[in-house]
Structure 1
Amino acid sequence: MTQTRLLLADDDEMLAALLKFRLEKEGFLVDWVADGRQMKESLNQALPEIIVSDIMMPYFSGIEMVDYVRNTLGANIPIIIISTAGNETNVLSAFELGADDFIAKPVNPTELIIRVRKLLRSSLV
């Protein structure tokens, strides 16, 4: 059985390290990028099965990434956006562009894993 590739994009290194550790412990192959430039490079090299991205990142925001994945790449990869709760306008924009889910920071790793698995199951249908 092949591992599910997950792209994790967040410039908060401590949070990213925690989420990467927990996701890998659950059997995911996690590619972590710390900014929008790295995210775009990663997406152009190989598409993951699912994306978890912060909204506010240097060079290329999570909102721009959703637009890029949906409209430029034409991919229907499940996308989970993570952001501070007080960022409602950005969250709504991400949903309008095609994000599949949103989790407010601080992110509970167990909740993230449950939501990732749920989105992956529904994308297989």
Structure 2
Amino acid sequence: MYIGLLEDEPQLAQYVCEILEKAGHTTNTFSNGADMIKAIGRDTIDLYVLDWRVPRVSGIEVLKHIREIRGLKEPVLFLTSKTDEQDITEALNAGADDYCTKPVRPQEFLARINALIRRTYPERNNQDIIRNLLGYKFNQLSNTVEFEDLSVNLSEKEFKLAMFLFENHERAISRDRLMQEVWGGGGDALSRSLDVHISWLRKKLDLAATSPKLRLKPIYGFGYRLMAVEEHRDA
């Protein structure tokens, strides 16, 4: 998981990152709320860990930006020294999913993180070789996808990109996040490669702008979103 950490104490931020990265997560650290808000507008973060008292924009204001301005539903955990019941209630009522107090207790902290991930991203925690997503059957051994009466062979990169998009359907995914997930980096060359792979997936998996069930739509200046056509959302 890609976790955004808002923490202005460098040593504590490094310690929390080490805990998360040893558990297999990728982290991006912000020392003030304003920088995190900017990042939210250009990247896709799976889970937010917020301190309350940080420079420029407070953690609670970042939370309000996530929920009220951006309308994002990704889980938010507060990691803070504020322990008053009123503060905890304010954060939860503003849209936080959990609250963890300092000093950091690594096992409890990871347990809370893992609980949020299991609840929010059940599809991405499924390690089965055969995955059924939105009526498409993904075979992770053969890199094939079956849907309707078709069986389509995909390259390794196509398959990885398709799986990530299907696991995160209805989410806006940034170009940077897609390149990082599939190619492990970014840059102009990979950006062009991403567009080519997106074009291939639209054709091979029937995800074009006029497709009857699923459409892989661009988000101008940001990335892509895999969306169900309205009449098929509840099918």
Counterpart of 1:115 (choices 112, 116, 126) is 112
d(CA) in 2 for partners of 1:12 and 1:88? Answer: 24
- Within 5 Å, give how 1:84-95 maps onto structure 2: 84-95=81-92
1:66 is paired with a residue whose SS is helix
Q: Calculate percent identity across the aligned residue pairs.
A: 28
Whether the aligned pair in 2 keeps the contact of 1:10 and 1:35 (CA below 8 Å) is yes
How far the C-alpha of 1:78 sits from its partner, in A, is 0.4
Q: What is the TM-score normalised by the length of structure 1?
A: 0.91
Counterpart of 2:53 (choices 50, 53, 56) is 56
How far the C-alpha of 1:47 sits from its partner, in A, is 2.5
Whether the aligned pair in 2 keeps the contact of 1:81 and 1:99 (CA below 8 Å) is yes
- Within 5 Å, give how 1:1-125 maps onto structure 2: 4-125=1-122
Moved more, 12-21 or 77-86: 77-86
d(CA) in 1 for partners of 2:82 and 2:94? Answer: 19
Higher helix share: 1
Whether the aligned pair in 2 keeps the contact of 1:55 and 1:90 (CA below 8 Å) is no
Unaligned runs of 5+ in 1: none
1:42 is paired with a residue whose SS is helix
Q: Which has the higher contact order (CA 8 A, sep 6+)?
A: 1
State the 4+ residue runs in structure 1 displaced beyond 6 angstroms: none
Whether the aligned pair in 2 keeps the contact of 1:63 and 1:90 (CA below 8 Å) is no
Q: Measured at CA, do residues 113 and 86 of structure 1 come closer, stay the same or move farther in structure 2, by a change above 3 Å?
A: closer
Equivalent AA in structure 1 for residue 50 of structure 2: S
d(CA) in 1 for partners of 2:25 and 2:16? Answer: 11
d(CA) in 1 for partners of 2:85 and 2:32? Answer: 21
Q: What is the TM-score normalised by the length of structure 2?
A: 0.50
Unaligned runs of 5+ in 2: 123-235
How far the C-alpha of 1:87 sits from its partner, in A, is 4.0
How far the C-alpha of 1:97 sits from its partner, in A, is 0.8
How far the C-alpha of 1:85 sits from its partner, in A, is 4.1
Equivalent AA in structure 2 for residue 99 of structure 1: A
